[in-house]
Amino acid sequence: MPPNATPSGAQSQTQPGQPQQSNQVPTIRTTVGLVHLVATVTDRRHNFVTNLEQNDFRVLEDGAPQEIRFFGRETDLPLRIGLLLDTSNSIRPRLEFEQDAAIDFLSSVIRRNRDMAFLMTFDNEPEVVQDYTGDVSILTTAIRRQRAGGGTALHDAIYRAAEKLINPPPPKGSDPGLEVRRVLVVISDGNDNLSDHALSDAVESAIRAEASIYAISTNTDWLTTSGNVPKKRFIEQGDKVLQQFADQSGGRVFFPYKVDDLAQSFIDIGTELRSQYFIAYSPTNPQTTGKYRKIQIDVDRKNLNVRTRKGYYATSAAAPEAAPRSN
């Protein structure tokens, strides 16, 4: 089901452009009415599948087939990451867990002089405590300074962070029209008791920013099965909230048992960001009524799972970004 939120821009509508003709991978600029999608494809063993071609994909909007205008495999775009750290009183016993998780992630993913991240904390209200930087040591220092206390304004934090991702710093020394990959990483228990914005507002904001949400749950209700393999006892309400954010935006949610188990999760996130497909299409329905439209991507190979955002709001609002490179 689409989020029950007021419409906002989700289509990029700038001047039409054409692929550059050269021996290098071209830059494709956004065309009028173009809908951007980033898709992750995995097999039954959750391995990333990165060798598909454009004709392997089928895009449906509200059930109607769409023509793929632009396509790219194994994107290696500069990353713009919003890292959201829950510092509310409810996670006080787990704050060190969150800090270690955040630092591990940034150390694994950020490439100096290419990727950038900002740090936002949230308790009674969200606050950007470190603006965009590509220096992991600066981010690490900011993370270590945080202390826990207050309520939890998770929805407000995602709403504000997504807005900040709409106009991120462009890649240095690159074509200013080159697309960047927008990501929100949320480390939280998923609970909210102070936000002015509803959950649906936060989801819509992420859709408008074309940002995928990767959530790491700090809930720690576990049991141990045979072989000392930790498994979730049950999915808590906060976990369900984090799952909804991830599902609607095309991201993922992780339930690590302890800090030592985070390494593989971070490797998976980093690998996924480099192993995705860019797909863009112009909707066959030209009306911009602001209504929510469902998106579905299928592939013609069996036993593969495709993950992307669930839909968008069809408005005439323009987005400033350009489309990424295509093969």
Each residue's pLDDT expressed in tens, for the chain with a length of 327 residues: 444 443 333 343 333 333 333 333 333 333 347 898 999 999 999 899 999 999 999 999 999 999 999 998 756 788 999 999 999 998 888 888 788 888 988 998 898 889 999 999 999 999 999 999 999 999 999 999 999 999 999 999 999 999 999 999 998 875 655 678 899 999 999 999 999 999 999 999 999 899 999 998 888 766 555 566 666 666 789 999 999 999 999 999 988 876 667 666 777 788 888 889 999 999 999 888 888 999 999 999 999 999 999 999 888 643 333 333 333
Residue 224's pLDDT is what? Answer: 53
Residue 260's pLDDT is what? Answer: 64
Topology of domain 79-273, CATH: Rossmann fold (3.40.50)
d(CA 272, CA 49): 10
Q: Any residues with CB less than 8 A from the CB of 303 and at least 6 apart, and which?
A: 43, 44
Question: What is the separation of C-alpha 68 from the centre of its chain, rounded to a whole number of angstroms?
Answer: 22
Q: How far is CA 142 from CA 26, 118, 146, 300, in A?
A: 38, 10, 7, 46
Residue 245's pLDDT is what? Answer: 97
Positive or negative torsion for Cα 36, 42, 48, 52:
negative
Residue 32's pLDDT is what? Answer: 44
Task: Give the three-state DSSP class for 136.
Answer: helix
Q: Are 279 and 37 in contact (CB under 8 A)?
A: yes
Q: Which helix (H) or strand (E) segment is 128 a member of? A: strand 126-133
Phi (first) and psi of residue 307, to 5 degrees: -120, 125
Q: Spell out the domain ranges in the chain.
A: 10-73+277-327, 79-273
DSSP-H helix ranges across 154-303: 154-166, 199-208, 237-249, 262-273
